[in-house]
Amino acid sequence: MNIHQTYQVTLHYLYEQLPMFQRIGPAAFKKDLGNIQALMEALGNPHECFRSIHVAGTNGKGSVAHMLSAALQAQGYKTGLYISPHYRDFRERIKIDGRYISKKEIIAFVDTHRELMERIRPSFFEITVAMAFDCFCRKKVDVAVVEVGLGGRLDSTNIIHPVLSIITNISYDHQQFLGDTLPEIAGEKAGIIKAGIPVVIGETHPETRQVFQDKAAREHAPISFADQLWEAVLIRSDLTHSYYRIKKNGQIIYDEIPVNLHGDYQKMNLQTFMEACSVLNQSSSLSLSREAVLDGSARLKELTRFIGRWQILGEHPTILTDSAHNEGGLRPVLRQIATLPYRQLHMVIGTVADKEVEKVLELFPKNARYYFAKADVPRGLDARLLQQKAAAFGLHGRAYSSVRNALRAAKRHADPEDLIFVGGSIFVVAEVV
């Protein structure tokens, strides 16, 4: 077999032999850190040989992680980045200075540690975290930005001892694991707060603020709330950049900073990023100059290969996709879509079966034409069932057997002045980016 074929066989083993949350849902979730601790010990504790920044939150953690990675790279640090899930390529999860882990490294890791994996029986996510930390250690990164997979307290990434913890925000998502109330969810996310390690909270919420303050006080961890200190105001945008004025405590810090991302909701992530940079400069061995922040923000996609958020796929008609998939993420995305110029809005949407889909369906505009689709994963909600549920909220359209067929239909029906939005689930976006 050539390397491509061997790589495909290796991925098949990872996907089919290990429980994978993205594919099968709750059955893959492990409620303790025993497996990842055993894996780390067997691998020589690679997570202890690099500095790290830990990023949790319901929404925005991917954007903030990429912002930080870009700035650290611009500063000259060799920077690892661990994210999840991936869209098209498994290797998106593990990057160093924007370059994906190689196919050869993945093959070698699985071949070398197959006996260990079959003894410990980790989940797909657990072995992916282990692979990332092993890669970062072997490649001697200066720092790794590590995005939490789900929650925080019991997430496999929560074995690192970071120089900074970040929790972007709290909204309803994965309630079956994290709790039914915002304070309960916040309590799980707060599990990444470590003794003496500064923590940045992106958004202040009256129901969750005290949860974070209490946990930080118990851990003697300095805490700051980014939105209490920073203000990012969108000035203008073009096809490649959004331009923001940044203030701290009312004083202009950046009169106009170009950010290689779109979506007005990014202002909250930008505020979180700015406070994270400030705290790093004050309290860690990592420093980020003004020039690195500017350069990293301007070249974010080039430096980190960031995809899937407010991404333009075509023009005439405009085709836009975004991976927001819960109430907190979709609300600002849909709010911004409402501000865009178009003649008719077409919505290609799908979701997964284990979500409380009613909470998000009520957010969607009733004056759009809908194309319901099933994402190509076992968890995907049947398109006809989604169509029925949507009809109860006044959302009407046809059901299609696949995302591609739904998008083709939308293109057929759309005029050049129309807007087509593709979203509702990360797995829907993965089929079009």
Write out pLDDT tens, residues 33-59: 999 999 999 999 999 999 999 999 988
- Higher-confidence residue: 32 or 154? 154
Report the pLDDT value the prediction gives residue 46, as an integer from 0 to 100.
Answer: 98
Residues in a beta bridge with 234: 244
Q: What is the mean pLDDT of residues 397-420?
A: 97
Q: Fill in the DSSP letter of residue 249.
A: T
- For 121-160, how does the pLDDT look when each residue is reduced to its tens digit (9 = 90+)? 998 999 999 999 999 999 999 999 999 997 789 899 999 9
Q: What is the band of 355 on the pLDDT scale with cuts at 50, 70, 90? A: confident
Mean pLDDT within 394-402: 97
Domain boundaries, the chain: 3-304, 311-430
DSSP assignment of 175-236 equals HHHH-SSHHHHHHHHGGG--TT--EEESS--TTTHHHHHHHHHHHT--EEEHHHHEEEEEEE
Which tokens go with 278?
A: 């400030």
Mean pLDDT of 374-379: 89
Read off the pLDDT of residues 281-324 as tens digits, 9 standing for 90 and up.
Answer: 998 899 999 999 999 999 999 999 999 988 989 999 999 999 98
d(CA 286, CA 40): 25
Residue 97: name the closest of 78, 125, 124 by CA.
Answer: 78
Q: What's the confidence (pLDDT) of residue 176? A: 47
What sign has the CA pseudo-torsion 169, 172, 173, 179? positive
pLDDT band at residue 32 using 50, 70 and 90 as cut-offs: confident
The whole-chain average pLDDT of the chain stands at: 92
pLDDT for res 178: 58
Q: Is the pLDDT of residue 106 over 50?
A: yes
Residue-level pLDDT at 174: 44
The arithmetic mean of pLDDT across residues 77-91, rounded, is 95
Q: Residues 364-387: what's their mean pLDDT?
A: 95
Q: Distance of CA 174 to CAs 127, 256, 405, Å?
A: 21, 37, 29
Give the three-class secondary structure for 313.
strand
Q: How confident is the model at residue 180 (pLDDT cuts 50, 70, 90)?
A: low
3-state SS track over 342-382 = CCCEEEEECCECCCCHHHHHCCCCCCCEEEEECCCCCCECC
Q: Going by C-beta distance under 8 Å and a sequence separation of 6 or more, which residues neighbour residue 104?
A: 3
pLDDT reported for residue 24:
44
| Distance of alpha carbon 337 from alpha carbon 424, whole angstroms | 14
Q: Tell whether the model's pLDDT for residue 175 goes beyond 70.
A: no
Local confidence band at 374 (pLDDT 50, 70, 90 cut-offs): very high
The identity of residue 147, as a single letter, is E
What pLDDT sits at residue 19?
60
Q: Quick one: pLDDT at residue 56?
A: 96
Residue 151: what pLDDT?
78
- Regarding the domain with residue range 3-304, which homologous superfamily does it belong to in the CATH classification? Mur-like, catalytic domain (3.40.1190.10)
Tokens 């099933």, residue located: 374
- pLDDT over threshold 90, residue 26: no
Superfamily of domain 311-430: Mur ligase, C-terminal domain (3.90.190.20)
**Model pTM greater than 0.85?**
yes
- Report the 10 Å Cβ neighbour count for 37: 15
Return the pLDDT at 346: 98
Average pLDDT over every residue of 219-242: 94
pLDDT of residue 21: 46
